[in-house]
Amino acid sequence: MTNETILSLLLSIPIGIISGLYAGIIVARYQRFADLRLQAKKLILEIDFIWEDTKMVFPRRKETPEFSTIASDLFFLGHKSAGTKVLEVSQDIQRNIAEANTGRVNLESFNVKYGSWQHQIRALSPEMLPILRIWGGL
């Protein structure tokens, strides 16, 4: 082996380790964002409702305080627009559930809103700078 080969090998090992770690951190950050988005979507899907007489009844879940925790995590990770959107969807959900409990929202209108909430959460996208930055947490 020549000196150039040994030097090339000695330089490529640390570079390979560093680039592998960086790629792993990027994947972990994106996965954390995707997990938070999935949690928000599951919260919406857990809202169960039925129509009784002139109002809607929510037999299983109608309170969704977990949205604020999800938004807080998104803000901490640097995804400000996604965190803001989660809070907006949460407020819209609570407002519509309160109105549906009193009979001020009809079933068709609530179904449209229900689909809209799911679409808004599915459409959340991460901000690339927090994912690609070198320093910072997961």
* Full DSSP string of 39-77: HHHHHHHT---EEETTEEE-SS----THHHHHHHHHHHH
Asked whether the beta carbons of 77 and 96 are under 8 A apart, the reply is no
- Which tokens hold the place of 54? 């002139």
pTM: 0.86
Please check the confidence at residue 10 and state whether its pLDDT lies above 80: yes
How confident is the model over 53-73, as pLDDT tens digits? 777 888 776 678 899 999 999
